[in-house]
């Protein structure tokens, strides 16, 4: 079925709503025209949700107390079909850490578990997963001053071992962040033992069984805080906010698993405050997002390195509105980059969760996507990708202003495969090719051509007109492209894929056989 736009179909514009939005409709011949009309009718019924591929929100905590995810830190982590969420909660009159997991990709969730149980207060947990090893850190004052504590599971979260005290000094240690890569586990935190705030680091090279000595990463008279850490193999990368030369973002790295470290590198340089950095890596490609005040209000900015931090590209402004954007968390999967944050563009007292992505390693970005929409505040989101799915956990006040709870969102096909350029030669016309192979199981590729630079959207939908995947949603230059579609999360059956590129629309059928 081919759809081309021209003159004289204004009535169809209203009838087909989001599916048809301009003036004319011409339909290529099909053997069964009644079936064609049925598909169009189902588009009409589902137009309001056709391009919404996020599943309904799931409530993970449910009590009369206060529950919070940690802002600007990973509160959710994944490995395969196992999804893990961590947060702080004062339901028993004392702040404790709670944990919950799903073993089927977020479809259902086990009962929550109380992770800490002591007379002190436990705050700001962070989580990381590597295979069946689950690592959690937080800070806790049950032995006097706040210090960093750690627990691990070696069986995917079935059981957790006893806590390990990571820091032990007379100063305050707080806001830990953890990242694991293979058997290497890295923890950074803010520490006041030296009379001012500095960044400290500690590592384990045996999945958290044993820990090396603490390493002081910063050493200046200013304050260093709000750190983030990531790693790829033996390369470890740390960013933080530092006031030594204004409030700017700084970076350092280790290429030997955290034994030796480079000198500090200043990543931002402007008159506004730059803070709350979040870092992610895929191979040697580093991605950083942070909060920045250079434009007179808080916005989310981004920059990248394609050589492991040796050099950096320019700053890129990801948000652009008159209100405030806070607490970004970034996740990189090959050329797919995902960012979440909270934003009050819809009202000074109404923060919502927003999402943005790049499918080409940060070279260009899609539009902002609002993930929450209600009168209460939603904040402190974090994101993880596993397979084709995206998973987001956040704090939400919709159940009462004095009763924030932990909520979860899933996009089963949000971690899309990248788009490959087949040819940069300018084609004569728009086209959408038949997928190959077809029938397929579970991966097929889709080729398309565009003769000019245009925003391209390709979506997959089922026989009921419900969207099941969004394959492409980016502005692309003229050329011929190929993208893979992975239907591992779908059942056998007939599906349709639809391209919209400027004035061009085309729809074709594909068959999944498992």
The pLDDT tens digits for 13-68 are 333 233 323 333 333 334 444 444 444 444 434 433 333 489 999 999 999 999 99
Q: In angstroms, rounded to a whole number, what is the distance separating the alpha carbons of residues 40 and 347?
A: 37
Q: In angstroms, rounded to a whole number, what is the distance separating the alpha carbons of residues 150 and 60?
A: 23
Tens of pLDDT, residues 165-181: 999 999 999 999 999 98
**Token pair 């996020």 is at which residue?**
54
In words, the CATH class of domain 58-411 is: mainly beta
Tell me the two tokens of residue 461. Answer: 């939908």
Burial class (CB in 10 A: 0-12, 13-18, 19+), 491: exposed
Q: What residues does CATH 2.120.10.10 cover in the chain?
A: 58-411
CA distances to 77, 132, 156, 391 from 102, rounded to whole Å, are 11, 13, 10, 11
Nearest of 85, 72, 75 to residue 329 by alpha carbon: 72
State the pLDDT at residue 455: 85
Distance of CA 335 to the CA centre of its chain: 13
Tally of CA atoms within 13 A in the half-sphere of 489 that contains its CB: 24
Q: Residue 99 pLDDT > 60, yes or no?
A: yes
Phi then psi for residue 138, to 5 deg, are -160, 175
DSSP state letter for 44: H
Q: In angstroms, rounded to a whole number, what is the distance separating the alpha carbons of residues 414 and 51?
A: 12
Nearest of 348, 237, 224 to residue 282 by alpha carbon: 237
Listing DSSP states for 499-510 in one string gives EEETTEEEEEEE
On average, the pLDDT of the chain sits at 87
The residue-averaged pLDDT of 124-153 equals 95
Burial class (CB in 10 A: 0-12, 13-18, 19+), 194: middle
b/e string for 216-226 if b means 16 or more Cβ within 10 A?
A: ebbeeeebbbb
Any idea of the CA torsion for 25, 28, 34, 40, to the nearest 10 degrees? -40
State the pLDDT at residue 418: 61
Q: Residue 6 pLDDT > 50, yes or no?
A: no
The residue-averaged pLDDT of 99-126 equals 96
Give the lowest-confidence range in 88-92, 110-114, 274-278, 332-336. 332-336
Give me the residues paired with residue 258 across strands.
none
State the pLDDT at residue 182: 84
Give the lowest-confidence range in 134-148, 261-275, 458-472. 458-472
Q: Cis (ω within 30 of 0) for the bond into 442?
A: yes
Q: Is the dihedral of CA 101, 107, 110, 116 positive or negative?
A: positive
State the pLDDT at residue 42: 47
Tens of pLDDT, residues 190-234: 999 999 999 999 999 999 999 999 999 999 999 999 999 999 888
Give the lowest-confidence range in 84-93, 335-344, 356-365. 356-365
Residue 437 three-state SS: coil
Q: What residues does CATH 2.60.40.1930 cover in the chain?
A: 2-52+417-512
Q: In angstroms, rounded to a whole number, what is the distance separating the alpha carbons of residues 19 and 21?
A: 6
Q: Residue 341 pLDDT > 70, yes or no?
A: yes
Contact 40, 16 (CB under 8 A): yes
Q: Which residue has the higher pLDDT, 186 or 131?
A: 186
Tell me the two tokens of residue 31. Answer: 């053997």
Tally of CA atoms within 13 A in the half-sphere of 458 that contains its CB: 27
CA distances to 88, 98, 109, 390, 408 from 112, rounded to whole Å, are 12, 7, 8, 21, 14
In words, the CATH class of domain 2-52+417-512 is: mainly beta
């Amino acid at each position: 079925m081919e759809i081309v736009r021209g003159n004289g179909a204004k009535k169809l514009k209203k009838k087909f709503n989001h599916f048809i939005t301009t003036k004319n409709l011409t339909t290529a011949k099909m053997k069964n025209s009644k079936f064609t009309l049925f598909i169009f009718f189902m588009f009409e019924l589902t137009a309001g949700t056709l391009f919404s591929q996020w599943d309904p929100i799931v409530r993970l905590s449910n009590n009369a107390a206060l529950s919070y995810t940690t802002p600007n830190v990973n509160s959710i982590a994944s490995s395969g079909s196992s999804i893990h969420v961590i947060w702080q909660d004062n339901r028993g009159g004392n702040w404790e850490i709670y944990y919950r997991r799903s073993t089927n990709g977020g479809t259902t969730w086990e009962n929550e578990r109380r992770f800490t149980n002591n007379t002190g207060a436990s705050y700001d947990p962070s989580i990381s997963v590597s295979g069946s090893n689950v690592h959690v850190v937080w800070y806790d004052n049950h032995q006097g001053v706040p210090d960093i504590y750690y627990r691990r599971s070696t069986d995917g979260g079935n059981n957790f071992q006893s806590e390990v005290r990571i820091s032990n000094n007379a100063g305050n240690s707080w806001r830990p962040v953890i990242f694991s890569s293979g058997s290497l586990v890295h923890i950074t935190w803010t520490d006041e033992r030296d009379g001012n705030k500095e960044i400290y680091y500690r590592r384990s090279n045996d999945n958290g069984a044993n820990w090396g000595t603490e390493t002081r990463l910063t050493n200046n008279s200013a304050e260093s805080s709000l750190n983030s850490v990531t790693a790829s193999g033996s390369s470890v990368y740390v960013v933080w906010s530092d006031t030594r030369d204004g409030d700017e973002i700084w970076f350092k790295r280790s290429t030997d698993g955290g034994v030796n470290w480079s000198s500090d590198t200043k990543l931002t340089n402007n008159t506004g405050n730059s803070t709350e950095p979040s870092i992610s890596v895929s191979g040697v490609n580093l991605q950083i997002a942070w909060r920045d005040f250079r434009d007179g209000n808080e916005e989310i900015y981004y920059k990248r390195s394609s050589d492991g931090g040796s050099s950096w590209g320019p700053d890129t402004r990801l948000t652009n509105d008159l209100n405030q954007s806070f607490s970004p968390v970034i996740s990189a999967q090959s050329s797919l980059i995902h960012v979440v944050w909270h934003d009050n563009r819809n009202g000074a007292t109404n923060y919502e969760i927003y999402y943005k992505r790049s499918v080409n390693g940060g070279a260009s970005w899609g539009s902002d996507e609002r993930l929450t929409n209600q009168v209460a505040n939603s904040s402190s989101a974090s994101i993880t990708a596993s397979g084709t799915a995206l998973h987001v956990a956040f704090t939400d006040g919709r159940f009462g202003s004095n009763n924030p709870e932990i909520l979860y969102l899933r996009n089963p096909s949000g971690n899309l495969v990248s788009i490959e350029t087949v040819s940069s030669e300018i084609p004569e016309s728009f086209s959408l090719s038949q997928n190959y192979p077809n029938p397929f199981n579970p991966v097929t590729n889709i080729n398309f051509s565009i003769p000019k630079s245009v925003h391209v959207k390709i979506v997959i939908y089922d026989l009921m007109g419900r969207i099941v995947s969004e394959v492409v949603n980016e502005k692309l230059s003229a050329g011929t492209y190929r993208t893979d579609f992975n239907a591992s999360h779908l059942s056998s059956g007939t599906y349709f894929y639809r391209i919209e590129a400027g004035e061009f629309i085309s729809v074709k059928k594909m068959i999944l056989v498992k």
